[in-house]
Amino acid sequence: MTRSAFHARALLAVLLLAAVVLPAWAGRNLAFEPYGAVAGGTVAVAMREGDAPGAAFDQVDAASGGALRRAVGAMDFEGKAGTQLDLPGIGAYDRVLVVGIGDGAASPRMLEDLGGAVGQMAAGSTAPRIELLWDGDQSDAGAHLAFGAELGRYRFDRYRSADAGKAPVGRGELVIRTPAGARAGEVYAAQWAPVAAAVAFARDLVTEPGGAVWPEEFVARTREAFAGIANVEIAVLDVAAMERLGMGGILSVGQGSARPPRLLAVRYRGGRGGDAPIAFVGKGITFDSGGISLKDGDGMWRMKYDMSGAAAATGAVLAIAGRRAPVDVVAVAALAENMPSGTAGRPGDVVRTASGRTFEVMSTDAEGRMVLTDAVWYAQREFSPRAVIDIATLTGSIVTALGDEYAGLFSNDDTLAAQLQAAGAAAGEELWRMPLHPSYAEDLESPIADLRNGGVRGAGAGIGAHFIGSWIEDGMPWAHLDIAGMAWRESEGLPTSPAGATGFGVRLFDRLVRDAHE
């Protein structure tokens, strides 16, 4: 064997080995370089709608002797936002991905969508180096591009066996070329990489089947994710601790499962000390079979994502603590598995919650609001927060109302609601405000207990919100987000959310904290 053939073989062996032993989440290296000419390989450029597609586009077009413009013209591609054109063999380029960005001004959200489109392409490509060219002069453009790329290239490969012998997909380098050069990389690492990692943390938990992540396992993965992050305290209530506090709400949901419930609190102190935290309270049903009010089989597998609220709340604190934000926040996750069995709670049972208030169970499938009673009570009593925001895959009714465009927002506080809506618009996780009509109280009257948990037709999402709101103290700013339609995207992904778990809420809460509290 010649020396170079030996080297080539050794290199191949290393690459193959790397493809097998790398952890499931390992992807392309993100690199940051100055904007400049790129003569070949795989590149991505934005295309503005209208007469001037942009300097990066022009540069690649000139280098390809006008082939890019001809290809774009032949395909009638106009550069509308949300469109893209994937072109093989343009001039000396192996592949040019043209991403439409519309005719609006560059915004963080637009840059993240552009990065996301490139990230999704990169995740499925074997090219060793992919370069995204952006000539705009916004100082943190490179950071937003990278953030979008990292979100867009998310994959969950834990349960796939390695394809031995095949070229590794989604490895190599993804180069962000902007005028900010390597400086963009510093901004990205400090400000956005922790948020992207937190979104991936939430997506992983949501994607994992109910058989793999149960309440204690959720806690274990949370401890792992927070290891080494400063100013964080994790507290976990087990069944005995919850019994001492009289938490019948969460205990009655968990009692049918062989895997006991947990209440998890993750407190991050980044403020000056003595600041009241914002409390994010998440519904964490690791699997929702409906319990004795069993769901029908059709699509029941989806209920593995019924802990998306808990993943988002915990993930948001991971993002905020990870970037060392100067604020105080706490996540409270109400973790339980809703199963039918001889020990399960029944329809008709009356449950006493930690607050002392009781409710009558009309349906064991309305379990989200049941676990949240004790979780919001605990958040208020334990942490004296300045606001409580709960997040839950609570009702099918919100999916009927808002589809997968908006999460439902219910709030007793117009300022908090407006801040959340603004944060959602900026982060690309949008909220539509829904009413909390006083008449919902009548729908929740029980003949034998303080309240009942369902069993009425009508404004399902609003009635659920009202039920949770009944456990909020007077004067406490509170918002409830029903994310049943947003936690999972079936097939059509978004640039920064490939199909599957979205991690909805992490970016929203991170943005809320940045804009309203830092």
Residue 265 vs residues 85, 226, 237, 275: alpha-carbon distances, Å: 46, 12, 9, 17
Cβ 31 to Mn ion shortest distance, Å: 45
Q: Residue 220 is inside which H or E element, if any?
A: helix 215-226
Under 8 Å between Cβ of 282 and 390 = yes
Cβ 211 to ligand BES shortest distance, Å: 17
Interacting residue with ligand BES among 367, 374, 390, 510 (CB under 6 A):
367
Q: Does 73 bind ligand BES (CB under 6 A)?
A: no
Interacting residue with ligand BES among 397, 411, 497, 502 (CB under 6 A):
397
Nearest to 331 by CA among 259, 394, 283: 283
Name the residue nearer to Zn ion (CB basis): 178 or 308: 308
Phi-psi region of 263 (alpha: psi -120 to 50; beta: other; left: phi over 0): beta
How many angstroms separate the CA atoms of 503 and 509, rounded? 11
> If binding means CB under 6 A, how many residues of this protein chain bind ligand BES?
17
Name the residue nearer to ligand BES (CB basis): 140 or 306: 306
Task: Using CA atoms of 355, 360, 365, 366 in order, give the dihedral in degrees to the nearest 10.
Answer: -50
Cβ 293 to ligand BES shortest distance, Å: 7
Nearest to 482 by CA among 375, 409, 400, 422: 409
Quick one: tokens of 18? 């790397």
Q: Does 288 bind Mn ion (CB under 5 A)?
A: yes
Quick one: tokens of 66? 């006008």
Q: Does 368 bind ligand BES (CB under 6 A)?
A: yes
Under 8 Å between Cβ of 406 and 398 = no
The listed partner (Mn ion, ligand BES, Zn ion, none) that binds 396, CB under 5 to 8 Å by sort, is ligand BES
Site for Zn ion in 266-295 (CB under 5 A): 285, 288
Cβ 364 to Mn ion shortest distance, Å: 8
Quick one: tokens of 172? 């190599």
Quick one: tokens of 107? 């915004």
Q: Does 368 bind Zn ion (CB under 5 A)?
A: yes
The answer to whether residue 80 is catalytic is no
- 365 belongs to an annotated ligand binding site: yes
Amino acid sitting at position 288: D
The answer to whether residue 269 is catalytic is no
How many angstroms separate the CA atoms of 89 and 95, rounded? 6
Query: Of the listed pieces 30-38, 159-167, 172-180, 390-398, which binds ligand BES according to CB under 6 A?
Result: 390-398
Query: Of the listed pieces 43-51, 128-136, 182-190, 287-295, which binds Mn ion according to CB under 5 A?
Result: 287-295
How many angstroms separate the CA atoms of 430 and 436, rounded? 19
Site for Mn ion in 358-387 (CB under 5 A): 365, 367
CA gyration radius, the chain: 25
Cβ 453 to Mn ion shortest distance, Å: 11
Query: Of the listed pieces 37-45, 91-99, 157-165, 394-402, which binds ligand BES according to CB under 6 A?
Result: 394-402
Q: Residues marked as binding for Mn(2+)?
A: 283, 288, 306, 365, 367
Binding site for ligand BES (CB under 6 A): 288, 303, 306, 363, 365-368, 393-397, 399, 454, 460, 484
